[in-house]
Amino acid sequence: MAQPKAKKKVPAKNVKKVQVKKNTSPFSDSKKAKRYFVLFFLIMTFVIYGNSVWNRYNVDDNYVTGPDNTLVRQGLKAIPKIFTTPYYVNPSNIGQSQSSDYRPIVKLTYALEYTLTGRDRPMLSHFINVLLYFFVCLMLFQILKRTLKNYNILFPFLITLLFMVHPLHTEVVASLKNRDELLAMFFALWGMKYLLDFAEKKKIRYLIFTLILFMIGYLSKSSIITFLVLYPLVLYFFTDMKPKQFGYIFGGLLVVILIAHFVPRLFFLHLSRINSYVENPLYFEKNFWVRTGTGMMTLLFYLKKMFFPYPLLFYYGFNMIPVTNWANIWVILSFFIHLGLLVIALRLFRQKHILSFAILFYLIALSMYSNIVVPAVGIVAERFAFVASVGFCIGLTWAIFRLFRTDPKSLTIEINDRVKVLAVIVLLVIPSSIYTIHRNRDWKNMFALYKSDIPHLDNSFKGNVQYASFLLDFIYKNPGYEQQGFVNPETRDRAFKYYRRAIAIYPKDYISLNELGTAYLALSHNPDSAMIYLRKAVALKPDVQAAWVNLGLAYRYQKKFDSAMITYNRILKLNPKEVKAKFAIADIWFEQGDMAKAIQLNEDVIKECRDTLEVPYINIAKYYYETGDTVKAMDFLVKSVQKKPQPGVCMQLAYYYRYHGDMDRAKYFFELAQQLSNADKKPR
């Protein structure tokens, strides 16, 4: 009986080669094709975002660049300070200032810009942002093309195209402050490229390059931390590297994070981030069900914006996303949607299915902004979904292929199937591009942005406050107001309206109550309305003096001098060295006809301050001038100039001496006034 022939054993290496089909399309590998891809993405980037190049500075840009950022305006000389100071310092909070984050790479890029141009050039800054976005998209395409080498080249191309035109990215590109997101994403992807080189060639230098780029990305923005998990995810799905080998890669990345995060804080960096209820109430919420319920609402918000990115807004915060528990139908719906996505991802995980990768990439990238792990500033923000949108675009593109039963791995796709897929993509790309181009115009300047967004911010406390504050700032800085006290009633009333709306959303904000009360005094001379808000402010924070100062001024407007005295004495109890309160009390004495007490109180301040202040002399001069003793008034003004010359005082003295024929003194004070005025105009 004939023996059956033994089966020939196939070497393991040969089996592997049979299983993996490499995309050998000449179109995908040729240098000419690569140049076409680069050119297409470059043109497409500037078609979509080119109009943003003409934009000016906008919300929060002054934190990192612009006329108000004196550090960046020092150019390369500022590099030591850039690397030893916080990302931004905000001294505006009443009672204390705050400094937050450490992102020196972002400020460094703006310092380099200023060194090249020698002046503020928002056009150059916006152009660089658009260019950075192009490099992010190009790097994404190169990585997709490499990891999806077994797929038709059309698949990674369309993923990148959908990513590029997604309107959700307009905040990242059109806002100069958000260059940190672009830089972090670019360096993260660049690091991923070298990580894939390491997985393929096993040369340690590629891993070192990855770690260096990852650190630069972290110093651009710490949101890159999600790549601590995304890197191993990519290695698992698209390389032959064993999961056991991920350990030292994960460890190396973790060491980089620890160094970049803690070393600056140990030696030179002192941060004082103040968590605000109106930014995110979850900072103060310990209830697990509320935290997770709000987290589910957050995830639903991002999923909705991925599919339907309208309206896009510059800020959300309290109370745009309701803080809620699980007794909410939308929380339940979000839970089942995301649970379903997770179940699909886990079921397809061992198959290394592209849909599993897309879902996991999306969820991991969003995790740190879900409000479940930690509360996010502003609760939600469009820029927070920047990285996660990669996973969304992969999943959406795969779904479009499968809709027409087209295999994205097929190297030759039938023309009919290709037309169907491209038709759907075009239907997505055209409206997305149009909306993105339109949204860029909203970021033209702060006026345009607020005008576009404020109708959709009825429930945003901080959105309304920012707009109201912007309007007041515009009034205060308007030359008509500075020179003649002119106020545009329409602008003023609009500011009042949005402050009132903000306070209706959250009545316990001390700063807004104080600012609205102050505005009623300064802009409409309405002490009755001012006191409504100032009294609420001092009731909220009786140990903070700002609202007490304005309350005292309101009492003086009403001629309620006894109440004003009580208020100013309350300020002195809070801060015995507050000379402004003493000056106010002295003015009250003078207004009540007791000039001697008014002068004596100013002289007491002169003694207490060791004769270093000019203000008491100016006050005494005012008292003498208003009682008709011009000679003594001028003598005290001269003494004030000897302590600290002021342009206005010097000019007043010049006119006085010129009128009385003392031309030498008139000339002296006139020239001194000019010198002081010119010094104030010089950039600092």
The token duo for 88 is 């931004």
Instruction: Return the SS3 of 88.
Output: strand
Q: b/e for 623-646, b at 16 or more Cβ within 10 A?
A: bbbeeeeeeebbebbbbbbebebb
Contact 313, 456 (CB under 8 A): yes
Mean pLDDT of the chain: 90
Predicted confidence (pLDDT) at residue 619 exceeds the cutoff of 80 = yes
The residue written with tokens 């972090």 in the block is 184
Query: Residue 270 gets which letter from DSSP?
Result: -
**Which is more confidently placed, 253 or 273?**
253
Rounded percentage of the chain residues whose pLDDT exceeds 90: 78
Predicted confidence (pLDDT) at residue 25 exceeds the cutoff of 80 = no
Helical segments of 202-287, H only: 204-218, 227-238, 246-267
Question: In the prediction, which pLDDT does 24 show?
Answer: 44
Domain ranges of the chain: 22-90+102-439, 451-637, 645-684
Contact 515, 491 (CB under 8 A): no
Question: In the prediction, which pLDDT does 99 show?
Answer: 65
Q: How far apart are CA 346 and CA 348, in angstroms?
A: 5
Structure confidence at residue 70 as a pLDDT band (50, 70, 90):
confident
Predicted confidence (pLDDT) at residue 27 exceeds the cutoff of 80 = no
Question: In the prediction, which pLDDT does 340 show?
Answer: 98
Q: Which residues contact 26 (CB under 8 A, 6 or more apart)?
A: 33
Model confidence over 571-594: pLDDT tens digits? 999 999 899 999 999 999 999 999
Which has the minimum average pLDDT: 13-27, 155-169, 342-356? 13-27
Mean pLDDT of 620-642: 94
Model confidence over 291-301: pLDDT tens digits? 999 999 999 99
Tell me the HSE value of 487 on the side-chain side, using a 13 A CA sphere: 19
Mean pLDDT of 595-617: 91
Q: Give the long-range contacts of residues 10-16, CB within 8 A, separation 24 or more.
A: none
Question: In the prediction, which pLDDT does 31 show?
Answer: 77
For the chain, count helices (H), then strands (E): 31, 2
Structure confidence at residue 369 as a pLDDT band (50, 70, 90):
very high
Q: How far apart are CA 533 and CA 547, in angstroms?
A: 9
**Which is more confidently placed, 311 or 412?**
311
Question: In the prediction, which pLDDT does 400 show?
Answer: 96
Question: In the prediction, which pLDDT does 681 show?
Answer: 57
- How long a stretch of residues is the chain? 684
Question: In the prediction, which pLDDT does 244 show?
Answer: 83
Question: In the prediction, which pLDDT does 577 show?
Answer: 87
Rounded percentage of the chain residues whose pLDDT exceeds 70: 93
Q: What sign for the dihedral angle of Cα 128, 131, 136, 139?
A: negative
Model confidence over 458-485: pLDDT tens digits? 999 999 999 999 999 999 888 676 666 6
Predicted confidence (pLDDT) at residue 509 exceeds the cutoff of 70 = yes
Predicted confidence (pLDDT) at residue 649 exceeds the cutoff of 60 = yes
Structure confidence at residue 678 as a pLDDT band (50, 70, 90):
confident
Model confidence over 100-149: pLDDT tens digits? 789 999 999 999 999 988 888 999 999 999 999 999 999 999 999 999 99
Q: How far apart are CA 415 and CA 413, in angstroms?
A: 6
Q: How far apart are CA 37 and CA 141, in angstroms?
A: 9
For domain 451-637, say whether CATH 1.25.40.10 is its number: yes
Question: In the prediction, which pLDDT does 243 show?
Answer: 83
Mean pLDDT of 516-544: 94
Structure confidence at residue 362 as a pLDDT band (50, 70, 90):
very high
Question: In the prediction, which pLDDT does 29 show?
Answer: 57
Predicted confidence (pLDDT) at residue 447 exceeds the cutoff of 60 = yes
Q: What sign for the dihedral angle of Cα 189, 423, 39, 151?
A: positive
Predicted confidence (pLDDT) at residue 82 exceeds the cutoff of 80 = yes
